[in-house]
């Protein structure tokens, strides 16, 4: 299958290196899909991950005396972890919950978030010293930094947590969803 490697042996370490980058990157994505409960995406990604790995490992075994092949395998693994993290951050798959705690009046924060098409829920709470205002925001990961910027701008002493959400149901997540919901309600009234 890879007889060209006999003619061009210098291609072997390159093939191993880039193959490992691909399979480790896919492994990172598969783990994310499994953790998010994506039962259809995870097996498909896993299939390609293992297929690439088998091809690469077969080349390692067929060239068992090549230290360059071993180094390429290890370097590809390390680079694959790095690339996997970059890809995961780029696709920003899933939703997160931001829970912000402040002693400031939060009506202005809610308005600032709404201007950015970010929905929020306000809850009153009792802290160790005084009353606190809790703002909960469910947001897609791509919009996380935007929401954090608004929160930090509102109160530079604000305490907030960010948690991954495995499942969500319903809710208002952007003005696009609000307008669809409004149109649906108007249509139902007619």
First to last CA, the chain: 66
SS3 of residue 171 by DSSP? coil
What are the domain boundaries of the chain?
4-91, 95-175
Choose among 112, 88, 115: nearest CA to 100.
Answer: 112
Yes or no: say if 105 and 112 are a contact pair by the CB < 8 Å rule.
no
Yes or no: say if 44 and 34 are a contact pair by the CB < 8 Å rule.
no
Residue 125 phi, psi (nearest 5): -145, 170
Yes or no: say if 61 and 16 are a contact pair by the CB < 8 Å rule.
no
Yes or no: say if 28 and 85 are a contact pair by the CB < 8 Å rule.
yes
- pTM, full prediction: 0.65
Q: Where are the beta strands (DSSP E) in the chain?
A: 95-102, 121-126, 131-140, 159-165
Token pair recorded at residue 90: 């780029």
Each of the 190 residues of the chain gets a pLDDT tens digit; together they read 666 666 776 778 889 999 999 999 999 999 988 888 888 999 999 999 999 999 998 888 887 787 888 899 999 999 999 999 999 888 877 888 999 998 888 888 888 888 888 888 888 888 788 888 999 988 888 888 889 998 988 888 889 999 988 777 766 655 454 444 444 445 545 4
- For 95-175, which CATH class? alpha beta
């Amino acid at each position: 299958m890879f007889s060209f490697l006999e003619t061009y042996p210098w291609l072997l370490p390159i093939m191993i290196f880039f193959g490992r980058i691909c399979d480790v990157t896919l492994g990172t994505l598969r783990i994310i899909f499994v953790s998010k409960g994506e039962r259809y995406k995870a097996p498909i990604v896993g299939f390609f991950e293992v297929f690439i790995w088998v091809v690469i490992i077969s080349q390692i075994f067929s060239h068992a005396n090549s230290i360059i092949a071993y180094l390429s395998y290890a370097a590809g693994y390390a680079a694959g972890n790095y690339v996997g993290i970059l890809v995961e951050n780029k696709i920003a798959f899933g939703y997160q919950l931001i829970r912000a705690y402040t002693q400031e009046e939060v009506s202005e924060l809610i308005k600032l978030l709404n201007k950015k098409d970010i929905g929020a829920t306000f809850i009153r709470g009792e802290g160790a010293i005084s009353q606190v205002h809790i703002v909960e925001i469910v947001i897609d990961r791509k919009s996380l930094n935007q929401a954090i910027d608004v929160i930090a701008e509102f109160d530079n002493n604000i305490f907030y947590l960010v948690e991954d959400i495995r499942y969500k149901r319903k809710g208002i997540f952007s003005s696009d969803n609000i307008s669809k919901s409004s149109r649906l309600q108007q249509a139902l009234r007619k």
